[in-house]
A and B are shown apart, each in its own frame.
Chain A
Amino acid sequence: MNFELSQDHKVLQDAVRDFVEKEIKPLAVQIDEEHAIPDELVRKMGEMGFLGSYLPEEYGGAGLDMLSYAIVVEEVSKACGSSGVLVSAHTSLACGPIYTFGTEEQKKKWLPALNSGEIIGCFLLTEPDAGSDAGAIATTYRREGDEFVINGSKIFITNGGYRGTGVLFATSDKSLKHKGVSAFIIDLNSPGVEILKNEKKLGIRGSYTTAFALDNVRIPAENLLGQEGQGFKIAMDTLNGGRIGIASQALGIAEGAFERALAYSKERKQFGAPICDLQAIQFKLADMWARIETSKLMTYKAACLKDGKKNYTMESAMCKMLASEAATYVTREAIQIHGGYGFICDYEVERMYRDAKITEIYEGTNEVQRVVISKLLLS
């Protein structure tokens, strides 16, 4: 066993770190306060190849592996959780399923603009009455000649506000439950697509979380992704991979908060000495670091299993669960180490605390992850 990153991965990590330090970190406060990631930053991340890292070069991707992608999301999220989820949702949930399930024509048509970041992708699964129970979606489709006609609504769509390209799930007949679900590639500028609102949130405020109404939206038949009735499988498979992205985001948020807490504990003096001399603080740092390292090992393992084309369902569920719980724990303790200053916006750990919470919820709540893990144990 070898737990060292390869030389190539180190080169990549170093390059991403350098970019994040200079281009993203200085904007993180603004992104949170203004509830938006500057277009210029999205463009630069596209130029860097962050928005198509593991997609093949022939479709405009960088041609790297899943571990590289995990490192990119982790490093971006160290500075800004909103930017981290933009990269993760775009790559895992839009580029990913189009690449995995798309025809050659679909890949050639949709992926280059997505992978360059010219168009931002999203994943339209969740509905008001279908969250963890994804088979219960009520958005319908019917075939009319060379088109599918979509009606319904979607909520909590990460990156939805960009009105880019979406992977949309709809059912032909709700009574068929998950067997009636199909997946489609949708241009969110199509007539009948209406943005109801971009939600105001506790954290990841720079990231769009959008509610859509879909009123007789016409999609060309060629935009069917996979076979009719295959939608539920596509959704589950996509989320399986997406969890590695969210684990990486959570891991990055935790590491960002830890770095600040560690530095602060050495600077802050009370009782005539830095507070890191106090065992109460030392134990906190030890607990935080142990959780970060555990999450990192599991996240990288899941990515490596996917790269090796091995089954990674168990590991992706575990890394998402471990890393998100590490993120909420570490960011909370980071505030505690900062004392009153941690509660003040200037010290940024409060933002990381707010950003961390969602990682326990989206792309499968941690309760769903526990279902996945225990089912595999007992099967």
Chain B
Amino acid sequence: MKLLVCIKQVPDMESRFRPNSQGIWFDENDLAWRMNEYDEYAVEQAVQLREQVGDSAELTVLSIGPDRVVEAIKKSLAMGCDRAVHIRDDHAATKDPWQIASIIAAYAKGQGFDLIFTGMQSQDRGSAQVGVTLAEELGYACATTLVGFAYGDGTVTAKRELEGGIKGVVKLATPALVTCQLGLNVPRYPTLPNIMKAKKKEIEVIAVADLLTEQPLTATTSFHPPARKGGGVVLEGDVGVLVEQLVGILKDKTAVLR
């Protein structure tokens, strides 16, 4: 069984973001980087399946980006992926989801992956398009926003998160692709011995030019912080007046009281 998990390295979300010189994305200097949180759940689920299936399964982790993304790749290898593909691209951040999905599809086509895992979305761009687009390009069945996963006899049973706290269960025949929601599992810590073992695992490097044939379909034209809001509203008066004012605001401006 051939498994693939696609991961992205994103800035630490605690960072202070500044627009870059073109004003179309954030400035990448002085940022700390980590694995996209959604992808940690994808890696964990893929590793669990790899362990369930045993040595007849092979789990590849793939990431697109500059050399620094190897840090996220190595973390995945230490969590239990067998091998890695690094599609080296210094300009991955400016590619649109269509191009990213097409690059992965160009790699994955003909490789015979039975199951592909991705995060539901990235923490930085947040388009949630790469997974589903990749499934479409490969002609795979696809389920998104997984909060539960089981596999047996060529069938994936996926529990999906719907709106309003409702869950749905769908079954997919492989080959298939699933996108993983936060809370799907408990991602394991890479242990020190496994970090050491990961150093010996293969990381195949492919230049992005060898896989990229598509033009972007969308372009980001501006990146900016939200406009500064004015100061908050300070209510004044005795308790009765405060309560009346507060209830009025909750009724008029929120869905809390209707």
The answer on a CB contact under 8 Å between B192 and A62 is yes
Asked if A47 is an interface residue, CB under 8 A from chain B, the answer is: yes
Mask: chain B, 8-34; 1 = CB below 8 Å from A; 0 = not: 000000000000000000000000001
Q: Which residue of A lies closest to B74 (CB)?
A: A11
Among B64-85, those with CB < 8 Å from A are: 67-68, 70-71, 74-75, 78
The answer on a CB contact under 8 Å between A18 and B189 is yes
Chain B nearest Cβ from A68, distance in angstroms = 7
**Cα-based distance from A62 to B195 in the complex (angstroms):** 8
The answer on a CB contact under 8 Å between A72 and B195 is no
Chain A nearest Cβ from B66, distance in angstroms = 12
Known: A8-B195, A62-B195, A64-B196. A14 touches B34 (CB 8 A): yes
Chain A nearest Cβ from B197, distance in angstroms = 8
Q: Which residue of B lies closest to A115 (CB)?
A: B193
The answer on a CB contact under 8 Å between A11 and B189 is no
The answer on a CB contact under 8 Å between A14 and B196 is no
Interface residue from A19, A57, A72 paired with B193 (Cβ < 8 Å): A57
The answer on a CB contact under 8 Å between A19 and B196 is no
Among A1-44, those with CB < 8 Å from B are: 7-8, 10-12, 14-15, 18-19
**Which residue, B75, B78, B190, B199, has most C-beta atoms of chain A within 10 A?**
B190
The answer on a CB contact under 8 Å between A15 and B196 is no
Mask: chain A, 245-268; 1 = CB below 8 Å from B; 0 = not: 000000000000000000000000
Interface residue from A10, A14, A53 paired with B192 (Cβ < 8 Å): A53
The answer on a CB contact under 8 Å between A47 and B191 is yes
The answer on a CB contact under 8 Å between B196 and A57 is yes
**Cα-based distance from A62 to B34 in the complex (angstroms):** 23
Interface residue from B74, B192, B194 paired with A72 (Cβ < 8 Å): B192
Mask: chain A, 42-53; 1 = CB below 8 Å from B; 0 = not: 000001111001
The answer on a CB contact under 8 Å between A49 and B191 is yes
Q: Which residue of A lies closest to B75 (CB)?
A: A11
User: In terms of DSSP, what is the predominant structure of the interface of chain A?
Assistant: helix
Interface residue from A15, A47, A72 paired with B78 (Cβ < 8 Å): A15
The answer on a CB contact under 8 Å between A64 and B78 is no
Known: A14-B34, A15-B189, A15-B190. A7 touches B71 (CB 8 A): yes
**Cα-based distance from A12 to B75 in the complex (angstroms):** 8
Known: A11-B190, A15-B189, A49-B191. A63 touches B196 (CB 8 A): yes
**Cα-based distance from A61 to B197 in the complex (angstroms):** 12
The answer on a CB contact under 8 Å between B189 and A48 is yes
Among A63-85, those with CB < 8 Å from B are: 63-64, 68, 72
The answer on a CB contact under 8 Å between B71 and A12 is no
Among B192-242, those with CB < 8 Å from A are: 192-196, 198-199
Residues of chain A with a CB closer than 8 A to B193's CB? 49, 57, 61-63
The answer on a CB contact under 8 Å between A15 and B199 is no
Q: Which residue of B lies closest to A49 (CB)?
A: B192
The answer on a CB contact under 8 Å between B192 and A7 is no
Chain B nearest Cβ from A263, distance in angstroms = 11
The answer on a CB contact under 8 Å between B75 and A15 is yes
**Cα-based distance from A18 to B12 in the complex (angstroms):** 13
**Which residue, A7, A15, A47, A61, has most C-beta atoms of chain B within 10 A?**
A15
Q: Which residue of B lies closest to A11 (CB)?
A: B74
Residues of chain B with a CB closer than 8 A to A14's CB? 34, 71, 75
**Cα-based distance from A18 to B188 in the complex (angstroms):** 10
The answer on a CB contact under 8 Å between B71 and A11 is yes
**Which residue, B68, B189, B192, B199, has most C-beta atoms of chain A within 10 A?**
B192
**Cα-based distance from A183 to B27 in the complex (angstroms):** 57
**Cα-based distance from A72 to B194 in the complex (angstroms):** 15
**Cα-based distance from A303 to B91 in the complex (angstroms):** 36
**Cα-based distance from A228 to B190 in the complex (angstroms):** 42
The answer on a CB contact under 8 Å between B192 and A11 is no
The answer on a CB contact under 8 Å between A62 and B196 is yes
Chain B nearest Cβ from A359, distance in angstroms = 24
Q: Which residue of B lies closest to A51 (CB)?
A: B192
Interface residue from A18, A47, A61, A64 paired with B195 (Cβ < 8 Å): A64
Residues of chain A with a CB closer than 8 A to B198's CB? 11
Residues of chain A with a CB closer than 8 A to B34's CB? 14
**Cα-based distance from A24 to B242 in the complex (angstroms):** 43
The answer on a CB contact under 8 Å between A12 and B195 is yes
**Cα-based distance from A62 to B193 in the complex (angstroms):** 4
Chain A nearest Cβ from B192, distance in angstroms = 3
The answer on a CB contact under 8 Å between B195 and A15 is yes
Chain B nearest Cβ from A72, distance in angstroms = 7
Residues of chain B with a CB closer than 8 A to A57's CB? 193, 196
Residues of chain B with a CB closer than 8 A to A19's CB? 189
Q: Which residue of A lies closest to B77 (CB)?
A: A11
Residues of chain B with a CB closer than 8 A to A62's CB? 191-193, 195-196
6 smallest CB-CB distances across A and B, nearest first, come from A49-B192, A62-B192, A15-B190, A62-B193, A11-B74, A63-B196
6 A–B pairs (Cβ distance < 8 Å), ordered by A: A8-B195, A11-B75, A11-B78, A14-B75, A61-B193, A62-B193
B interface, CB within 8 angstroms of A: 34, 67-68, 70-71, 74-75, 78, 189-196, 198-199
12 new A-B contacts at CB < 8 Å, known A15-B78, A15-B195, A63-B193: A7-B71, A11-B195, A11-B198, A14-B71, A18-B189, A48-B192, A49-B194, A57-B193, A62-B195, A62-B196, A64-B196, A72-B192
